[in-house]
Amino acid sequence: MLPSQRRQAILAAVRAENAASAEALARQFDVSVETIRRDLRALHSDGLLERVYGGATRSSGRSTEGSFSARSRRNTDRKRAVAALAASLIEPEDTVVIDVGTTALEVARALPANFRGRVLTNSVPAAMALAERGDVDLMLCGGHVRQGDAACSGAYAEAFFGEFYADKAFLGSGGVHPEAGLTDYYPPEVIVRRTIIAHTASSYVLADSSKLGTIAVHRVCALDQITAVVTDDHDQDAIATLQNAGVTVLCAQSSPMPLNAAG
């Protein structure tokens, strides 16, 4: 088993039982305890679990998500793969909403070169990423700006998105869960996101695999109110769970292809 495969299996084991000891995991995977500790450190650095004395527990923090700069450094390859897949859905003359968050920012950066439509956003970083694109009709909503993410919310933002009907929206997420639905951390931004969903033909939730099965503190909507979840291929069990619940999942390949997969 490759280290990356073992770490995904460890993550699945911790999530299934909510906790696991390093010694038990070492026996299960027939490796040393020190190898398991390295794996747990790596998974913890990606924000996928919490390390405790003697092992690890499922990451369950629902009230905060960490700083924008810290999140920008996590799962970068996965987020870019998700963003590239999301951007491939955009037609040249669409009116598109790009929401707040680190993956949404990657969508702004991945916007196709032939795009000449309109972008509506509540993300100052996304607007800055597109500011030099003279072919894009860029509109930033304004409102109260949250420190760190530079996310706009409040009455101005709600009124702004209430005036448009967009073709596609690419939404940030704190968590995506088959029963709890789409969840996030900041109530004013939750309200803006609901307005965006209500005024958009197709709404796509951007969620790298660390968000799948996670529940943040505030509910945005049930998953039957969105068009699809766009994620990566690192947690096939979580993807299958969503699909079994009737959710459309678009999966970006972010893992290297196995050497024996050719042909």
Q: Same domain, yes or no, for 169 and 146?
A: yes
Q: How confident is the model at residue 260 (pLDDT cuts 50, 70, 90)?
A: very low
Q: Same domain, yes or no, for 83 and 183?
A: yes
For residue 83, is pLDDT > 90? yes
Neighbours of 241 (CB within 10 A): 16
Domain membership of residue 26 as a residue range: 3-58
Q: Same domain, yes or no, for 77 and 54?
A: no
| Assigned domain for 263 exists | no
- Helix axis angle for 76-87 and 102-109, nearest 10°, is 50
Q: Same domain, yes or no, for 146 and 54?
A: no
Q: Same domain, yes or no, for 41 and 86?
A: no
Choose the weakest-confidence range: 63-67, 99-103, 231-235, 243-247.
Answer: 63-67
Number of domains the chain is built from:
2
Average pLDDT, the chain: 88
Interval 109-126: pLDDT, tens: 999 999 999 999 999 999
Give the pLDDT of residue 113. 94
Interval 19-52: pLDDT, tens: 889 999 999 999 999 999 999 988 876 667 777 7
**Structural element, H or E, at residue 167:** strand 166-171
Give the pLDDT of residue 254. 75
For residue 262, is pLDDT > 50? no
Residue in this structure with the two tokens 């490759």, named with its chain if needed = 2
- Mean pLDDT calculated for residue range 83-105: 97
Q: Same domain, yes or no, for 220 and 96?
A: yes
Whole-structure pTM value = 0.74
For residue 89, is pLDDT > 80? yes
Q: Same domain, yes or no, for 214 and 180?
A: yes
Q: What token pair was written down for 4? A: 């990356």
Interval 149-168: pLDDT, tens: 899 999 999 999 999 999 99
| Assigned domain for 257 exists | no
For residue 62, is pLDDT > 60? no
- Mean pLDDT calculated for residue range 127-138: 96
Alpha carbon separation from 10 to 18, 67, 233, 244 (Å, rounded) = 11, 26, 16, 23
For residue 238, is pLDDT > 50? yes
Give the pLDDT of residue 220. 96
Give the pLDDT of residue 25. 94
| Assigned domain for 180 exists | yes
Choose the weakest-confidence range: 24-33, 63-72, 133-142, 173-182.
Answer: 63-72
Percent of the chain scoring above 90 in pLDDT: 64
Query: What CATH number is associated with residue 190?
Result: 3.40.50.1360
Q: How confident is the model at residue 258 (pLDDT cuts 50, 70, 90)?
A: very low
Q: Same domain, yes or no, for 33 and 137?
A: no
| Assigned domain for 259 exists | no
Query: What CATH number is associated with residue 52?
Result: 1.10.10.10
Give the pLDDT of residue 44. 76
